[in-house]
Every structure is written in C-alpha cells, then in structure tokens.
Structure 1
Amino acid sequence: MRQILSAVAYCHKLNIMHRDIKPENILFADKSISSPIKMIDWGFAAQCLSNHIFTSIVGTPYYVAPEVLSGKYTKICDIWSCGVVMFILLSGSPPFHGKSNKETLEKVRKGEYTMNASVWKNISSAAKDLIRRMLEYNPERRITAEEALKHPWMNLHGSKNILIADPNVSAKLGQELIKKFRQFKNSKLPEL
C-alpha cells in the first residue's frame, strides 16, 4: 500500500489521476520477494487542473468511487480505489459486491460496507482506520495520498515488508487469504 499510495501521491502532485486503480493494474516489476510494484493501464488517466470537475464515468465497478458514478469528481477518486484495494488485500473480498453490475454499483453509490468481525478480527485498528478514511463517502473529507502515507498504520512497520518483518503473521491467516484471493480472482468482475 505504501508503494501504491506513493505512486498516487506523485501523480496527484503532477495533477494526473489514474481513474482505474485495481489489483489487475498493479504488477510486480520482477519475481523477487522484494520486488517493487508498477502501476499499469493508464488508458483512463487524465490531467486534472486545479478547479476542473470531471464528468465522464470510467473505471471498474468494484473500485469506482461513488462521486464518479454521480458524474462530478476530482483526483481524490483514486484514493477511494486505493481503499478498496487495501480492503481486498486485508480481507480477500471487496467491500462492495453484488451479483450483477447494477447491484454492485448500487452498493458503491450507497458507500455502505462492513468489516465482518470474523474476517477482520486479526486486522489492526490502525489498518481499519486507514481504510475507513480512504473509503470516506464525502470526497472533501477523504484522506489524501500524502496524508495516507503519514497515517499511523504506515508507520507501524516502517518501510519493511510486513510479511518478512513480522514473524507473528500466522500461516493460517495467510492460507485463508490465499483461498479468498483465488475465489475473488475466479469471480466474474463486472465492467462499467
């Protein structure tokens, strides 16, 4: 998440928004365990000058911000997508999921999600707080990429890879997440 948010912060400083941040657009640069990530598929990217409000509806339903669906948004929509990615990375499932595009998009429009106790019991309160701040429904109150990089959760483990640095990460939790990732990967992703 640190690398993803660093890339978003860099782009936002240059007044560029990605508009389609999702796991499929985040790749490892190489096969090493410490590989940096690369953000790809800049086809929906746009330059966003200071007071310009965007109206075109683009993105992928699971990750699109509610204000994009309303047709009135700015670069902060990327932070919502980052929040969805972090939610998936920590739980193995998306916060907004439906059986169809229409159902998924309706859940996104409402912006209501839960952090089920059984799935989230091993996730720190700091991680949950960062997700809540990235999935803030009101874009004017949503955390920025720069602020997210300074969030306490980011500082808990420094710049180390948590899976390498923290011996307390259980094998059971890892296996559960792998199972959920596979289920999520095999589910049909709706398109806008």
Structure 2
Amino acid sequence: MRKIPVATTREIMRQLLESLVFLHSHGAVHKDLKLENVMLDAGGEGKSSKSSLPAQAVKVIDFDTLESWCPSNASAKDVVGTDQYISQEAYAGKYSPLSDIFACGVILYRLLTGKFPFHDDMFDDEAGENWVGSPKMAQIRRRLKVAKVDFSKEVFQENSEAGDLVMRMLAYQENQRPTASAALEHPWFQDSRAAPQLPPYIQELVDDGIVVGEA
C-alpha cells in the first residue's frame, strides 16, 4: 500500500486508540483489529484541531470476534485473528486488551511504511492448525519472540517518537505494551503540527483496506 502523510496517520491512530479506550473500558476486546477493519468516514462531522480529518472519522468495524474480557477469563481454544496482527500471547489463547494494542502497532507500522513489520513466511500455518496448543501455533509464537522489526526506514529516522510508539506497541511481552489510554499520552500525539489534506490517491486506500465513505 502507498504511505499516507505522517500527521494524517497520527490522527487516524489517535482516533483508533480512543475507540479502544471505550471498548476496553467496557470490558471487551476486538481480537481481530487490522487495517481492513478500520474505516475512514471522510464526510464525518467537525474537524480535528490537529488534522484535516473529521473529528470522528475513524470507525472500527467487524465485531464478529468481539468478546467480553476480564483478567480471570479462561484461555481460548482457538487462535482467532489475521496473520501479522496476532500477538504472541493470543497464539497461546491468552487474549487481552493488550493484544489489541499489538494489532494497533502493526497497523501503525503499515500506515507509516506501507509494509508489514514481520516477514510473511513466518506465518505458514494451514487449515486445521489454528488451535491453541498445536505445534504450528507454538512455532509461530517462538518466531515472534526472535523476529526483528526494521526501524531503519527513513520515516522512523525523521519521526523517532512514532518509531518509539510502534516499538512499545509491538513489544513481545504484553505487560510491556501501553494500554490504549497510556498510548494516547505518548509524546508523538503531543505534536501540534497540522496535518495536510487527505491525499488525492485516497481511493487507493479503499483498495488497501482503509475504506473511505460517506456518512
């Protein structure tokens, strides 16, 4: 996918995290956050003070996997989600709000770089192997533990705070990731530079998973 302006990406992520604050505060986890499940409503009401995006432009969709959550939840029996976006603990059946944060880290990395953070060949499971405790799920979990994410890209050299936030969200250990509320307090979101207008190739974002529609 083609990259979009950093300031616009920041506002998309801000609104996505605000959605997660609401979701998690009501004791629920999405379990399948991915770029394809983030919709941009370019015709939404109002404007953000820091972006040309409408103040409520970002919509999370596809709640088929939504589940109530509390710390005492039993482990899941199946691994639910989409390759690249699934956190290591989810491969062990331990979903939590911090699993959604890992997925946000993948979304943010992809918006900033146009690429996924992990090599596709890490995720080589086949139909019937996505049950918790299967050898393949354990193998992918081990691969995530040693995977190296490329932070040498130019966008991270020019936006070190964005890189720091992505790194924190993609932490292997879930207790090292920020909550949605804590992520919103990250210095990257305190940058008040105005975002450019939505780029003219916005239709390409529809094809790449960000859907832009009318309210």
Flag structure 2 segments of 5+ consecutive residues without an equivalent: 1-12, 45-51, 126-139, 210-215
Question: 2-side partners of 1:19 and 1:96: how far apart?
Answer: 19
Aligned to 2:33: 21
**How far has the Cα of 1:117 moved from its partner?**
3.6
Q: Aligned to 2:149, which of 97, 107, 113? A: 113
Offset at 1:71? 2.1
The equivalent of 1:190 in structure 2 is none
Task: Decide whether aligned partners of structure 1 residues 50 and 118 sit closer, same or farther in structure 2, where only a CA change above 3 A counts.
Answer: closer
Deviation, structure 1 residue 116? 2.7
Quote the offset at 1:185 in angstroms: 4.0
Match of 1:72 in 2: 94
Q: CA RMSD in A?
A: 3.2
SS of the residue corresponding to residue 43 of structure 1 reads coil
29-38 vs 76-85, which moves further? 29-38
Letter in 1 for 2:84: Y
Tell me which residue corresponds to 1:151. 186
1-side partners of 2:185 and 2:170: how far apart?
17
Structure 2 residue corresponding to 1:97, chosen from 116, 119, 127: 119
**Aligned to 1:38, what secondary structure does the other structure show?**
strand
- The one-character-per-residue Cα deviations of 1:49-108 (angstroms, maximum 9, x if unpaired) are 2322442310001111111112223221000000000000111101012247318x4644
Q: Following the alignment from structure 2 to structure 1, what is the Cα–Cα distance between the partners of residues 84 and 14?
A: 21
Stretches of structure 1 that go unaligned for 5 or more consecutive residues are 165-170, 187-192
In structure 2, C-alpha distance between the alignment counterparts of 1:88 and 1:47, rounded to whole Å: 28
Change (3 A) 1:49 1:99: closer
Which residue does 2:83 correspond to in 1?
61
**What is the match of residue 130 of structure 1?**
165
Instruction: Rate the CA distance shift 1:90–1:52 in 2: closer, same or farther, 3 A.
Output: same
Q: What is the Cα deviation at residue 113 of structure 1?
A: 1.2
Q: Secondary structure at the match of 1:121?
A: helix
TM-score by length of structure 1 reads 0.76
Q: 2: CA distance between counterparts of 1:141 and 1:22?
A: 21
Q: Which amino acid counterpart does residue 47 of structure 1 have in structure 2?
A: S
The answer to whether the Cα contact below 8 Å between 2:29 and 2:67 also exists between their aligned partners in 1 is yes
Give the secondary structure class of the aligned counterpart of 1:102: coil
Amino acid at match of 2:15: Q
- Find the aligned partners of 1:80 and 1:52 in 2 and give their Cα distance: 19
Structure 1 residue ranges, 4+ long, deviating more than 6 angstroms after superposition: none
Aligned-pair CA distance for 1:141: 1.6
Cα pair 2:36 2:208 within 8 Å, conserved: no
Counterpart position of 2:71:
50
Give % identity: 29
